[in-house]
Amino acid sequence: SVGGVATALVPTAVQYCPGIGSGHEGVTVVPPRLQEIKAAAAAEAQSTVEQCFAASGATVTRVREGARPAVKWLKECHEEATSEIDLVLVDTVQLGSAANRQYQCPIKLFVAKSTVDTWTMEEKARIEGTMASLGSLLVSLTDAVFGWDTSTTARTVSVVWEDSERMAFNKGGLLFFNALYFEAFGHAAANSDAVHFWFVTFCHEVAHNVSADHDRVHENAEEVLITEFLHPLQAFLWRT
């Protein structure tokens, strides 16, 4: 089914291929990289909206800051990486839903093995804090919007930090979300822009459970998921 999930647990250290599916302010691990990501996303969003409006004779002055990147750029983020990346489990944190204090869920935090030993203590604390912030947002979505129980969320949802072209990916039904992009787009405040952004990303990745490709099957599944869960998303935003 569209909402189907894998039952396998994630081992402590594992290699992932980019096969299927593929902000804190202040000091960052790779500031130029984060700035580059944000600028590229804004430029692609602006260009896409202008092209869509042009055929109807409409114009757009400027896409708002933090706008979702265009599909073309998103596909690059998901699939451009061509080599395996070592991800190492650095922590499992207990996170709660913003909509339900009783909904507590352990979320695994992974980082790229090549970078974990290069951080200062301050960088490590900041990055893990950013990862936990994204994890909290995702836990809130699985609880209040998608209606997953805590065992499904714990088994299925993980947060990663890697300087790669993967914003998120689906590995056999397990969903991984890259907190580097969460920081690059200034989503640490977990405002409505952040909620909408990661809601769509979540739907995109879950839709890969029915097709590994970006084909009509995947596109239809993603549209169904967004349409089906848009109302509970809005209800969640109103409550919080």
Buried b (16+ CB within 10 A) or exposed e, 13-23: eeebebebbbb
What's the CA gap between 106 and 91, in Å, rounded? Answer: 10
Q: Which residues pair with 91 in a beta bridge?
A: 109
The residues, any chain, with a CB within 8 Å of residue 156's CB and separated by 6 or more, are 5, 6, 148, 173, 174, 175
pLDDT of the residue at 77 = 45
What's the CA gap between 1 and 221, in Å, rounded? Answer: 10
Q: Which residues pair with 16 in a beta bridge?
A: 85
Q: Is the pTM of this model over 0.85?
A: no
Alpha helices in 29-158 (DSSP H): 31-54, 71-79, 113-116, 121-140, 150-156
Q: How far is CA 178 from the centre of its chain?
A: 6
What's the CA gap between 108 and 95, in Å, rounded? Answer: 10
Tell me if 5 sits within 8 A of 173, measured CB to CB.
Answer: yes
pLDDT of the residue at 8 = 29
Residues in the chain: 240
Q: Which residues pair with 170 in a beta bridge?
A: 175
What's the CA gap between 99 and 239, in Å, rounded? Answer: 7
Question: Could you tell me which of 18, 14, 19, 7 has the C-alpha nearest to residue 173?
Answer: 7
**Low-confidence residues in the chain, pLDDT < 70:** 1-32, 45, 48-49, 51-53, 55-85, 189-190
pLDDT of the residue at 81 = 35
